[in-house]
Structures are given as structure tokens and as C-alpha cells.
Amino acid sequence: MSEATFRHVVMFKWDTEKASAEHRAGVGAELDKMAKSIDTIVSFKHGKDAGLSESNFDYVLVVDFANEEGYVTYRDSPAHQEFLTKNIKGFIQNRSAVQHKL
């Protein structure tokens, strides 16, 4: 496995009027399924907020890549685009993301 030198972090807040509890609960499994199909991912972690602060986002994803090109491959991959269309777009109120070198 390659050493990670580039990280992508994304957080989002669900629109609970559009994303049912069942939908929200299934996102983790869908993320894992997507990640298995993208070979540029070095490390893939995600989870829902612990609920300790009211102003927090609801979910976070932290993905590491060997380099910036690995991130771009992930970002543009059909599997990632399909995941976004089926699970994120139209289901969230807010999103925040950052990519940075490690």
C-alpha cells in the first residue's frame, strides 16, 4: 500500500425533511461499497457526529491518497459520482470540504 501524502475531508449536515432516518443510516454502507471500487484510496474513515455540540455537522468523511492525482481520480470516478447522486445531492442542507497535503 502507498504512503498517504494527500487528504480529503468532507462534512455535511442532513436535510432531515428530505433524508429519512433509514436513508441516513444506510450511507455508511454505501460509502464502504463505493470505496472498495476506487483503487487510489489509501485510507478511508467516516462516521456520524457524536452529538456533543448542537452546531456540529452530522457526518464526516476523511480519505487519504498517495498524491493529489489520486484524489482527482476519486473525485471524478463514476462510483463516486453515482454515490453523490443517490445518497448526498438533494439530501443535505450544508457541506464543507478541504483537501490538504499531509
The cell for 25 is: 443510516
The cell for 19 is: 433524508
The answer to whether the beta carbons of residues 34 and 80 sit under 8 Å apart is yes
Confidence of residue 1 (pLDDT cuts 50, 70, 90): low
The alpha carbon dihedral of 14, 12, 77, 36 has a sign of negative
Confidence of residue 2 (pLDDT cuts 50, 70, 90): confident
Which amino acid appears at position 62 of this protein? V
DSSP for 66-90 reads SSHHHHHHHHH-HHHHHHIIIIITT
The pTM of the full predicted model, rounded to 2 decimals, is 0.93
pLDDT in tens, 37-66: 999 999 999 999 999 999 999 999 999 999
- As separate numbers, helices (DSSP H) first and strands (DSSP E) second, the chain gives 3, 4
Phi-psi region of 12 (alpha: psi -120 to 50; beta: other; left: phi over 0): beta
Mean of the per-residue pLDDT values of the chain: 97
